[in-house]
Homo-oligomer: A and B are copies of this chain.
Amino acid sequence: MAPQGQPASVPDDGLTTRERRDRPLLIVHTGDGKGKSTAAFGLALRAWSQGWPVGVFQFVKSAKWRIGEERALRVLADSGAGGTVDWHKMGSGWSWVRDRVDPDGDPAAAAAEGWAQIRRDLAAQTYRLYVLDELTYPLRWGWLDVAEVVETLRTRPGRQHVVVTGRRAPQELLDAADLVTEMTKIRHPMDAGQKGQRGIEW
């Protein structure tokens, strides 16, 4: 039995242990259950604590925009005690677009604009952790080209970690990922007629 925390086998991949350990990860949180995005923002806490620059890109207008997580990460970034956090939302117009994208305009065009910025940031190695929140939906809806997105993520330079969240992640994305977790709903309060509530859902 391998010691705790040790891999069961060492692959013949030509990498040193250190190179293998520090290999940048492509992480996917998918499935119909809760916690996909919540766990991604938990990862952002660790990244912030390491002093890393973190970029959050939200691809779908969520009920309450994850205002709790956004507030918390802004306070952390402003504290100066860890890394930086840039938070970008598609639905309200990407923040780097001078003439804001019309929030009631073409969502496919807005998604493409967001993805184009991520490509630029990956090429420039702007962040150490990218939270691509609910990216699976524009992929599923055909707003972004799955093959192009996967190839860009797969060939990103440097040591940039990426976590993608959302239901029904395309198989090509799963195949390219280093770490895939499926969140499965076993029981949910809405099954018992309960609506979402403050502090839990947002």
Stoichiometry, copies per complex: 2
A178/B187 contact (C-beta < 8 A), A42-B42, A68-B45 known: yes
Of the candidate stretches A19-27, A102-110, A112-120, A142-150, the one touching chain B is: A19-27
Q: Closest B-chain residue to A180, C-beta based?
A: B186
CB within 8 Å of B: which residues of A?
Answer: 5-11, 13, 17, 20-23, 25, 27, 29, 31, 33-43, 45-50, 52, 63, 67-69, 71-73, 75-76, 79, 81-82, 128-129, 161, 174, 177-200, 202
Chain A to chain B contacts (Cβ below 8 Å), 29 pairs: A5-B63, A5-B195, A8-B190, A8-B191, A9-B193, A11-B193, A21-B195, A21-B197, A23-B189, A23-B194, A25-B197, A33-B182, A34-B39, A35-B36, A35-B183, A41-B45, A45-B72, A48-B72, A49-B68, A50-B199, A71-B81, A128-B199, A174-B187, A178-B189, A179-B189, A180-B185, A181-B183, A181-B185, A182-B183
